[in-house]
Amino acid sequence: MKLTLVLALLAQANGIYGQAVDANGITLYEKIEEMERQILQPFTLNSLVSPCSNNQNGPPEEQEQTAAQWVRILFHDVITKNVEGPGLGGLDASIGFETDRPENIGQFANITLIQFALFSSVFLSMADLIALGVSDSLATCDQPLARRIPLRVGRIDATRAGPAGVPGPADSLAFAQTAFTRAGFTNSEMIQAVACGHSLGGVHQTNFPDIVPESQKTPENTEGRSTFDSTPNVFDNTGVNEYISGVGLKGGPLVVGANETTRSDLRIFKSDNNVTINAMNTPGSFEQTCLNIFEKMSNTVPSGVTLSAPIVPRPWIMRESHLDLTPLGIVTFQGTISAHGATEPPATASYFYGTEGGGNTGPKTSQTGAAIPIFRNTQIGFGTIKDYAFFDTFNSPTIQTINVQGQYSAPINLNIFLLPSQTFTLPVRDGPGGAVLTNRYLVRAAVKGSLVTAGSTVSATLWYPTTQQGSVVPKIATLITTLTLEKTVGPYKIFKAVIIQPGAVVIFGGAHFFQIKLGTTQTSAKISSIVFNTTCTAPDPSGC
């Protein structure tokens, strides 16, 4: 706990925005914090794979399994890496450009990428979200332990397709071994990856009619799924045990299927005389082996990509917070604090505001915490998760930080901030018949008047998702707009601008973020448009 506090304070003292940044101006520290929020926030990715048997994009009788699809996309994206080549490939989301290849048959890739895109933003790449999805899937399906793959962030998305070469059921053992070796995996790791990945889900007759007979289709199984083991909705060693013992499903359709050509799992498992697979035949050895191999796959990235250290969500974090200004010029600060623990966190959160020179404004107490629903708690390995709302009025102009429970610290910049209550999201339909939905924003920001000179420039940066040719994965675009002075309120000057997002809104695009800058000297926090006011109905946006 002391270490996490030191790290947080160091990040603050060094200046988050003084760290090395990516192409969008985002630091690794910001990505880590956003990953923590994704893990602990209700109704993010994990809700789509709870329970483990859930089919998020279709009726139960299809017997598609979202958790299994998320594991599959990791394998299909990573395995075409060439460690001996120019350093391309690995977990880079290039599969978004490769979904029409026969080796990626079915809709699993596009469906999964669209699901992930709903939670995308400038902070996390699609490749980072794929890693998070696999971690969430296994934690949900690994009951009752709910262990997780250690997560890192910093992956960079590809902008074009990578090489082909995903091993399929009909490919030879030599083909599979070559693919795994090229990607940096040993023969034993190939066996582990296949056995672990096939603990969930199965093979669908609609995609592989040469493997699963038509008779497998029933009103309760409309796509004719043939599972790999007898517990397809639990991440466990049942498949390995059934293969070794010759009981139950005996390893599934890729081991004992009628078509000998497509018995790829059998060829792979036997490639070292079953030594590796036998070593996985206890619950403990299976789970640890699988967590290790999935971690290695998740961290197999193109050369030049720097990943963070493994992320362990801090016991206390700020899930969301924002400054604002009343009509009388009084600064307010509100948001949500999140906590988690094996024992239930306290009824309220204690915090204080640090001021210049190392002082503080005295202790404060949040509203009573609310526990997140059960599927967000015990099934994802973080015990009880609580959210605590808070709202404060600032009387001191020297406030610089918020400090929560002595375990979390974050900077506060009272010199410049966006005004959510006076900023509006204005969806507009353009084009013939209003067919195209676009976003317009009326943005207002407060800048401390003493910092504004005759030559000052105040600008707003908008990061937004936009379409990407050849892929369902949106890419993050940047738009910078200059604001103009509108009025003075108390010690602040208010600047505003109408910002029109180029192109149509990406329906599955994820969050929009804004940041305000005063020249190159002052930078506000990044704020999601989800907190903006939306009640303005004026025909001219500038009149809101």
Is the CA virtual torsion 242, 243, 249, 254 positive or negative? positive
CA 238 to chain centre: 30
Question: What fold, for 316-413?
Answer: Immunoglobulin-like (2.60.40)
CA–CA separation, 55 vs 51, rounded Å?
Answer: 9
Coil vs helix vs strand at 485: strand
The amino acid that residue 532 corresponds to is: F
Provide CATH code, domain 42-298: 1.10.420.10
Contacts of 66 (CB under 8 A, 6+ apart): 48, 49, 54, 55, 56, 57, 112, 115, 137
- Phi, psi (degrees; rounded to nearest 5) at 103: -70, -15
Q: ω into residue 213 within 30 of 0, thus cis?
A: no
Class (C level, CATH) for 418-543: mainly beta
Using a 10 angstrom Cβ sphere, with 0-12 exposed, 13-18 middle and 19 or more buried, the burial of residue 218 is exposed
The pTM of the whole model exceeds 0.85: yes
Domain boundaries, the chain: 42-298, 316-413, 418-543
CA–CA separation, 322 vs 338, rounded Å?
Answer: 15
| H or E stretch at 461 | strand 458-468
């790290």: which residue's tokens? Answer: 7
Contacts of 528 (CB under 8 A, 6+ apart): 121, 320, 511, 512, 513
Contact 423, 442 (CB under 8 A): yes
| DSSP secondary structure string for all residues of 287-327 | HHHHHHHHHHHHT---TT--PPPPB---SEEEEEEEEEE-T
- Cα 191–Cα 110–Cα 78 angle in degrees, nearest 5: 30
Contact 116, 133 (CB under 8 A): yes
- Phi, psi (degrees; rounded to nearest 5) at 216: -70, -20
CA–CA separation, 373 vs 522, rounded Å?
Answer: 40
Coil vs helix vs strand at 108: helix
| Nearest by Cα to 309 from 152, 175, 435 | 152
Q: ω into residue 313 within 30 of 0, thus cis?
A: no
CA–CA separation, 473 vs 471, rounded Å?
Answer: 5
Q: Tens digit of pLDDT per residue, the chain (544 long)?
A: 333 333 333 333 333 334 578 889 999 999 999 999 988 886 788 889 988 999 998 899 999 999 999 999 999 999 999 887 777 789 999 999 999 999 999 999 999 999 999 999 999 999 999 999 999 999 999 877 888 899 999 999 999 999 999 999 999 999 999 999 999 999 999 999 999 999 999 999 999 999 999 999 999 999 999 999 999 999 999 999 999 999 999 999 999 999 999 999 999 999 999 999 999 999 999 999 999 999 999 999 998 899 999 998 899 999 999 999 999 999 999 999 999 988 889 999 999 999 999 999 999 999 999 988 755 445 667 888 899 999 999 988 999 999 999 999 999 999 999 999 999 988 776 655 555 567 889 999 999 999 999 999 999 999 999 999 999 999 999 999 999 999 999 999 999 999 998 888 888 888 899 999 999 999 999 999 999 988 887 777 777 8
Asked whether the domain spanning 418-543 has the same topology as the one spanning 316-413, the reply is yes
- Phi, psi (degrees; rounded to nearest 5) at 3: -65, -45
Contact 211, 253 (CB under 8 A): yes
- Phi, psi (degrees; rounded to nearest 5) at 402: -115, 135
